[in-house]
Every structure is written in C-alpha cells, then in structure tokens.
Amino acid sequence: MKKNWQIFWHILIWISIIAFFLFLIHNDKMTMHRTLVIFVLYGSINISLFYLNYLLFIPRLLNRKRYGMYAVAMVFTIIIYGVGKYGVGLMFKQDVLVHMKVMMSFWSYFTSTLFVSIIFLFLSVVLKFSVDWFLNERIQRDLENQRLSAELAFLKSQINPHFLFNSLNSIYSLAYQQSENTPGAILKLSEIMRYMLYECNDNKVDLAKELQYLQNYIDLQKIRFGNKAFIDFKIDGQVTDQQIVPLLLIAFIENAFKHGIANDSLSPIRLLISVDQEHLHFYIQNKKHSNNRDDMGGIGLNNVKRRLDLLYAGKYNLDIRDEIDTYTCELSLVL
C-alpha cells in the first residue's frame, strides 16, 4: 500500500510539472502538435532517463561504490538517449529538428539536448540520496527509540526487586521481633505491589494514584518502626488530572528511611510536595546517622536520575545536598 502511494505521488508530480510547462510556454506561435511532441513525448523520454538512473544505476552501482562502472554507464546512457532522441526527432522533423528553416545536424542536436539529460540525471541522484537520507534518519530514530524503550524497561524492572528487597527486610525485622504488626505490614505490601504490577504499565499514571502509593509506603514504614517513625508529609496544591511517570519519587523516600533517622520526633523526615496543573516540586530532608558510612543513593537514585534524563529531558531540575547532619533532595519538573 505504501509503495502504491509513492507511485501515485510520483505520477501526480510529473503530470503537474508537464501541465505547468504546457500552460506556461504554449502560445499562438507554437502549434499544439509541436507542444505535445516537445513537452509530452520528450518529457516522457527524459522521465524514463530519470527513473533508469533512480531505480537501476544508483542502487546497483553508485550505492555499492562502483563509481567507475557508474561513470561508464552514465556516458553510454547519455549517448544512447542522445541517439534515440535524434531518431525520434527525425520522425517529427518540422517540430523538433527544423529551426528557422534550417535542419539541425546530429551533433548540433546532441549537444543541445546533452544539458537536459544531465539535469534529469542530476535530479534523480538528488532525489535518491534525499529519500535514502530521510529513510536512514527515520530508521536511526526508530532504533534509538527502541533502545531507549529497552533501557527504560530495564530501569523499571530494577525498581520492583529493589523495592521488594527493602520492604521484605522491613517485614523480616517485624517477624523476627514477633511483632503484631507483621500481618498489617504484609497486607500493606500486597496493596503496594498490586499498584506496581497492574497500574504502572503505562508511560504515565494519575498523580493522585502515585501520591497514594507514596502514602502506602510511608504507612508500611510506620508499621515497621512500631508507629515510632516520624515523618512530616504535606501536599500543597490541587491534585486533579495531572499525570506523572510512575515510581519516580519513591527512591527518594526509600533512601530517607534507609539512611536517615526516622524515629526522632525532634528531627522528623520532612516531605513536602507542591503541585499545580503543570508543575511538581518535591522536597525531602532527613537527619543522617552519625555512623552511617553507606553511600547515599545506590541503585534507587541512580535509577531515578537516568529515568529523569530519558523522560523529562530539559524539563526537570534535581538538587541533592549531602551535608554533615542532613541529606536533602529537591526535584522540580514539568508534568
């Protein structure tokens, strides 16, 4: 079907060009018969020369870097077409070869048509290389999109195991302590995993669902700490129909609980999310353990940084401040 459309557009363009010249040049001094011979008949001959080069010589010789053979083929083709055009001219002497009542010789006519033949050959080369360039660009874009999609799928596949690993560690701690909160933690984890498995398959999700997912994770952590986890979580602005890339913010909260002090009521984890219709500002700060030697971040933050680069390129600003006593992350992005 696509090839049929290409043929249709080629035919339409050539008909339009010939019709344009017929309209532009035809006048009382040029008979209709002579006009048809010169512009329709010879136009068709030159068009055949165009496609001979476009469909045969360029793909089989020029594209394969057989430059010598291509040059020889061009010379022979120009000669053969020159002879052929002169032969056609002999059939329509008065319209083609007679100029001011003088009969043109072969060489005079050949040299006069040489430039026209070269023009059509040149145009076929320009069109072929232009089409090939656009096709190659599209192929490269498709390959790049496929590569980025594969990379995003890989990054996203890392999120579930990474989150599950941390959460199971928390639940294991509760089970080890024989805490009565263990069943509630398992139920909360199942709700979180249901969201991650069934509602995060699209490129973007409703911001309201993503914020509820963050709240569920915070509730799970509070259960882990025996409701002694202190986090100041606020949402400013109206959450309506905004959308966001799923599982983008959780890494910051995970790291706050993993590396920070969560059970100090005087220094709670501070989490503020401000939203409007087109922007989101995320702020989280936690107090650091004095003996915490682990690098802040790990897989989670490296993952989210890469996803931001791929999905919000030029539309986000991430500021991470690793200070002596506190660790702060601020993310601003265009939704």
Tens place of pLDDT per residue across the chain (335 aa): 556 667 677 777 777 776 666 665 555 555 566 666 776 777 788 888 888 888 888 888 888 888 888 888 888 988 888 888 887 777 776 666 665 555 667 777 777 788 888 888 888 888 888 888 887 777 777 666 666 665 555 555 555 566 677 677 778 877 887 877 788 788 878 888 788 777 777 778 899 998 988 998 888 888 777 777 788 899 998 888 899 988 888 888 888 887 788 878 888 899 999 998 889 999 999 988 766 544 444 556 777 888 888 888 889 999 998 888 888 999 999 98
Please compute, for residue 246, the number of CA atoms within 13 A of its CA located in the half-sphere on the CB side: 23
Closest CA to 317 of 330, 307, 326, 335: 330
Residue 296: the pLDDT is 46
Residue 163: the pLDDT is 63
Please compute, for residue 245, the number of CA atoms within 13 A of its CA located in the half-sphere on the CB side: 22
Residue 137: the pLDDT is 79
Closest CA to 323 of 290, 300, 281, 276: 290
pTM score, two decimals? 0.56
Cα-trace Rg, the chain: 37
| Encoded tokens for 205 | 């999700």
In the chain, where the domains are located: 2-140, 179-334
| C-alpha–C-alpha distance, residues 218 and 212, integer Å | 10
Identify the CATH assignment for 179-334 out of 3.30.750.24, 3.40.1260.10, 3.40.190.10, 3.30.565.10. 3.30.565.10
| CA 117 from centroid of its chain's CA atoms | 41
